[in-house]
Amino acid sequence: MSENKPKLLYVYEERIPESLRKLILDYFLEEFEIETMTYKLPDSDKCAKMNWAELVLFAPGRHLSEKVFESASHIKLMQLWSSGYDKFNTSAAEKYNIPVANNGGANAISVAEHTLLLMLAVNKWLPDSHRRVVEGQWTGNSHGMDMFLLHGKVLGVVGFGNIGRAVAQRAAGFGMRVVYYDPVRASSQIENQLGVEYCDFPDLLSTSDVITLHLHLDESTRGIISKPEFILMKNSAILINVSRAQLVDNEQLYIALQTKRLRGVGLDVYYQEPTSPDDPLLNHPNVVGTPHMAGSTNDAYITAMQNCLDNLRRAYKDKKPRWVVNNVV
């Protein structure tokens, strides 16, 4: 193995399947000298691994103690495989002047397609329909009396970054009118290009037939959907959350479903992961769930690896990395 190869530490969670780990290792192995590490290692071992490395790839990014970052102050870049970084200790990285970057929106299209999948699944009762076919129990189905089109409906997009915009673009193909809310309004050029309208948050909640969340989780967005927001929504509305579970007050979400303040919910993220089979929310007939997989497609993995590889190369050559999410230049 060449001593001139950059030293890359690949950090992964134990639940990541071996096939995906191999895909990542094979992709980076030719260009880097690679060591691996799991989050279960004791801090002393993590520190030793960090001392060895020049660059670190996290797939996915999870919390590390400040002690580990203290031993990593020489690291040129901590590169996250994912777009989300709320579970990563970005403040500790910042304290030790280590830049942290996400994947530059590599999974945006995958998440956007999954968002539309959940909208359709909730509106068309897909899990129940599939069950009826498998069990041969066609008698008793509603013949569409409780199913709805996306066409002609108002879609409210909360958070208008890469994913929110990708959702808006695809929803237009279904004939939906798209409104959005974001603390930073998009330019008029982007609004015109995507055919979307900006509105304030309460108006979006009260006028939308479908509300979809595409926000990073922080203290300003935690619980952004709770009892007052459910009261504003149409009782015929559906809510889609493929971002972070903590954006929504779980107790109030269940109450809204039970009291028919909300017609249905599509979820890809949960307070407890893996989920519990006796969770009353997930057993509600108007909830469709998928196992935190919205951004997980083979195509998205390829794009993420390309973005991560490009960024790691840049950092190793002392060029400014892209998509830095903490305040390190």
Confidence label for 329 from pLDDT (cuts 50, 70 and 90): confident
Closest CA relative to residue 266, chosen from 248, 242, 294, 296: 242
H-assigned helices in 173-249 = 188-194, 201-207, 227-232
CA–CA distance from 232 to each of 185, 286, 320 (Å)? 22, 19, 45
The pLDDT confidence band at residue 222, using thresholds 50, 70 and 90, is very high
Query: Which part of the chain is CATH 3.40.50.720?
Result: 7-106+297-316, 108-289
Residue 304 backbone dihedrals phi, psi, to 5 degrees: -60, -45
In the residue annotation, 273 being an active-site residue is answered as yes
What confidence category does residue 3 fall into, taking pLDDT thresholds of 50, 70 and 90? low
Q: Is 94 left (phi over 0), alpha (psi -120 to 50) or beta?
A: alpha
pLDDT digits 0-9 by tens, 128-172: 999 999 999 999 889 999 999 999 999 999 999 999 999 999 999
So what's the pLDDT on residue 1? 44
Q: Which residue has the tokens 């968002």?
A: 115
| Structure-block tokens of residue 187 | 């330019």
Q: Please state, in angstroms and rounded to a whole number, the distance separating the CA atoms of residues 183 and 191.
A: 15
Report the run of H or E that residue 78 belongs to, with start and end.
strand 77-80
Domain 108-289 grouped into CATH 3.40.50.720: yes
Identity of the amino acid at 255? I
Asked whether the beta carbons of 266 and 239 are under 8 A apart, the reply is yes
Q: Within a 10 A sphere around the Cβ of 17, how many other Cβ atoms?
A: 8
Selecting among 244, 263, 284, 314, the annotated active-site residue is: 244
Write the pLDDT tens digit of every residue in 198-211. Answer: 999 999 999 999 99
pLDDT tens profile 231-278: 999 999 999 999 999 999 999 999 999 999 999 999 999 999 999 999
Task: Tell me which architecture the domain covering 7-106+297-316 has in CATH.
Answer: 3-Layer(aba) Sandwich (3.40)
Catalytic hit among 132, 170, 177, 292? 292
**Terminal Cα-to-Cα distance of the chain (whole angstroms):** 32
CA distance 92 to 75: 13
The overall average pLDDT reported for the chain is: 96
Catalytic (active site) residue 292:
yes
Q: What are phi and psi of 302, to 5 degrees?
A: -60, -45
Catalytic site residue 31?
no
% of the chain surpassing 70 pLDDT = 99
What is the rounded CA–CA span in Å between residue 299 and residue 80? 17
The pair of three-digit structure tokens given for residue 298, joined into one six-digit string = 């083979």
Give the residues across from 277 on adjacent strands: none
Q: Pick the catalytic residue: 70, 251, 273, 322?
A: 273
- Of 63, 59, 64, the C-alpha closest to 102 is 59
* 294 neighbors 115 (Cβ within 8 angstroms): yes
